A and B are shown apart, each in its own frame.
Chain A
Amino acid sequence: QSVLTQPPSVSAAPGQKVTISCSGSGSNIGKNYVSWYQQLPGTAPKLLIYDNNKRPSGIPDRFSGSKSGTSATLGITGLQTGDEADYYCGTWDSSLSAAVFGGGTKVTVL
């Protein structure tokens, strides 16, 4: 069981929008920044969002992040077939003194 909870899967048609939730607690999301990672099939994870809502250079503005209380959300607009991947949220848990990831969400473009 992951410390951070994500839905196992989400799907939408090309061009549509999906949101992925990441639920935690006061000792992790409630206290620390959240980052998001994209893992395309057969590849290493890639940083998508850091500091809850900032995008590294090269990440399109179709990807956005937000945080409220002990939950965070990743949004993907203008969905493309190339967005089909697993997405993970991550942060530090101050009580566990450990980095924690969500269980991952598979995005399917219908």
Chain B
Amino acid sequence: QVQLVESGGGVVQPGRSLGLSCAASGFTFSTHAMHWVRQAPGKGLEWVAVISYDGSKNYYADSVKGRFSISRDNSKNTLYLQMSSLRADDTAVYHCARDVSPSYYYYIDVWGKGTTVTVSS
């Protein structure tokens, strides 16, 4: 079945870097745009970034622009999020999500369970 499994979360000090991964299975990964969406404790959904099916286009939320980088390896069916200069307000559950479109956005139809990132000294 279609599945997205995130990994790489943990506790990290402010200012440090952390990389997340998302392993996709059960569908043709290379034909879908992919997103990262986060949810801070007790808060709503916040979109983070999207990458097109071939990695040629990506867009970021203003809150992470210049600090986070989204990438993908279609040969490994894996999505990545490299986070640097982490701040306390980056603390959240990070969900990997599949878009129906190959381009950048139409709607999200599959969500992963998420991996928790805690930024704290």
> CA separation between A101 and B46, bound complex, in Å?
7
The number of residue pairs between A and B whose CB atoms lie closer than 8 Å in the complex comes to 60
Q: Nearest-CB distance from B121 to chain A (Å)?
A: 28
Chain A hits for B62, CB < 8 A = 96, 98
Nearest-neighbour CB distance to chain A for B6, whole angstroms, equals 10
B111 near A46 with CB under 8 A, answer yes
Interface size counted on chain B using CB atoms at 8 A = 24
Neighbouring A residues of B107 by C-beta, 8 Å: 33, 35, 47, 50-51, 90
Determine the main DSSP class of B at the interface with A.
Answer: strand
Residue A103 is within 8 A (CB to CB) of chain B in the complex:
yes
CB proximity of B53 to chain A, nearest CB, Å: 16
Interface residues of B (CB under 8 A from A): 35, 37, 44-47, 50, 59-62, 95, 100, 104-114
- List 11 contacting pairs A-B, 8 Å CB cutoff, sorted by A: A35-B108, A39-B45, A44-B112, A45-B45, A56-B109, A88-B44, A98-B59, A99-B35, A99-B47, A101-B46, A103-B44
